[in-house]
Amino acid sequence: MVYTNLKKYGLSDRFEQEATMYGGFALARITEQHRDLYKAVREDGYAKAVVSGKLRYSSGSALDFPAVGDWVMLEDDGTDGNAVIHHVLTRSSVFVRQAAGTAGDAQVVAANIDVVFICMSLNADFNLRRLERYLTVAWDSRAKPAIVLTKSDLCEDLAERLVEVEGVSMGVPIVVCSSENGDGFDEVSARIGTGKTAAFIGSSGVGKSTMINRLLGENALATQAIREGDGKGRHTTTHRQLLLLLNGGIVIDTPGMRELSLYSGDVSRTFEDIEDLATQCKFSNCTHSDEPGCAVRAAIADGSLAEKRFGNYQKLGREINYEGLNSREREQEKINRMFGGKKALKNFQKSLKKK
């Protein structure tokens, strides 16, 4: 099978190979999701698709269901343009949150992404603690994070804001953008790259869809002014959608999140500075509360570590329910949660070896 269309949608050798395990099915990428109904692109065009009964009943959690960005195996159901999703190929990366209003159900925001743009506006939405939260999830996604600060045209103290963001970014690239004057757009384009997929995530109203429209060169996506009273967005985008850029990049627009509850996350990577400090505490099991010789407390006292940042580190750590697991169990739990367990990974590796 020669895939010229799907290559435009980011198909890599790795997924092409995995797809050969499923003879008789057609390879496709999910481009839209509307509750139970999906839109997928195959080599020969678009199809509407639903999940097969078998996939539905064998799935252990919401993570087993397809999401936008997923590579899937489809079978025609005989009716024009309609298809059934039988398999979801092993994800290379996934941005997962805890579904809003649930105790612990996962929700896949985007799958198989190379870059995750954490979008935050330089006006109403600006919040360092929220940024730390997004970074914690992004580091766990296996995609490369970048911080996109939007609406620079509305910001009067850009230099100050930048210093604040640099204080929590731990080396993650920061792009300052304005859809008003085009600032930062070349860099955003360059960070996506040909054949690579970038997801735009963040609160409602920060300008995700506006940016994508500008990158597309047309107003394909609806946008709407934020509310005057409290500066909050109006939740204009209602479903996740994958689109192709003219320069060969692939983008995923997502609805603004009211809150990002952690399902999984990498606190150590996000708060590298604090974990480095902790290695200098006198006691290796220091809780950084009132022990003598605590390097974390000392850093807070001398102003080099913000107390609020430390508080958020502890809060996010508690929110990720990995408590009581050692590092190996934690790693296993992560694979289980995000990638369907070791068995799925092993099968996939075996299939690669056979080739």
In the complex, the residues that contact ligand GTP under the rule CB under 6 A are 150-151, 153-154, 178-180, 204-210, 223-226, 233-237, 255-256
**Spatial contact of 242 and 251, defined as CB atoms under 8 Å apart:** yes
209 binds Mg ion (CB under 5 A): yes
Among residues 305, 294, 186, 313, the alpha carbon closest in space to that of 247 is found at 186
Residue 241 touches Mg ion, criterion: CB under 5 A = no
Residue 305 interacting with Zn ion (CB under 5 A): no
**Nearer to ligand GTP (CB atom), residue 49 or residue 206:** 206
The residue within the footprint of Zn ion, chosen from 262, 294, 299, 338 (CB under 5 A), is 294
Q: Which is nearer to Zn ion, 118 or 296 (CB)?
A: 296
85/286 with CB nearer Zn ion? 286
296, 278 Cβ separation under 8 angstroms: yes
Residue nearer to ligand GTP on the CB measure, 123 or 270: 123
* Smallest separation, CB 182 to ligand GTP (Å): 9
Helices (H), 217-306: 267-270, 272-278, 295-301
Rank residues 60 and 229 by Cβ distance to ligand GTP and give the closer one.
Answer: 229
Question: Sign (positive/negative) of CA torsion 317, 318, 319, 320?
Answer: positive
The binder of Zn ion chosen from 135, 148, 168, 281 (CB under 5 A): 281
Q: Is residue 179 a contact residue for Mg ion (CB under 5 A)?
A: no
Nearer to Mg ion, 103 or 225 (CB): 225
Which two structure tokens, joined as six digits, stand for 43? 């080599």
Across-strand partners of 197?
250
Minimum distance between the CB of residue 96 and ligand GTP, rounded to whole angstroms? Answer: 18
Give the Cα separation of 84 and 199 in Å (integer).
25
Q: Which residue is nearest to ligand GTP (CB)?
A: 256
Length of the chain: 355
- List all residues 6 or more positions away from 259 whose beta carbon is below 8 Å from its beta carbon: 100
Residue 203 touches Mg ion, criterion: CB under 5 A: no
User: What are the tokens at 292?
Assistant: 């003598």
Whose Cβ is closer to Mg ion: residue 106's or residue 211's? 211
294 binds, among ligand GTP, Zn ion, Mg ion, none (CB under 5 to 8 A by kind): Zn ion
Give the bridge partners for 88, in sequence order: 72
Q: How far is the CB of 292 from ligand GTP (least distance, A)?
A: 48
Q: Are 128 and 136 in contact, with CB atoms under 8 Å apart? A: no
Residue 265 interacts with which of ligand GTP, Mg ion, Zn ion, none, CB < 5 to 8 Å by class: none
Whether 215 contacts 251, CB under 8 Å:
yes
Binding partner of residue 184 among Zn ion, Mg ion, ligand GTP, none, CB under 5 to 8 Å per kind? none
User: How many alpha carbons lie under 13 Å from residue 105 in its C-beta half-sphere?
Assistant: 10
> Which partner in Mg ion, Zn ion, ligand GTP, none is near 154 (CB below 5 to 8 A by kind)?
ligand GTP
Q: Which two tokens stand for residue 27?
A: 């390879």
Longest dimension (CA), the chain: 72
The residues of the shown chain that bind Zn ion, judged by CB under 5 A, are: 281, 286, 288, 294, 296
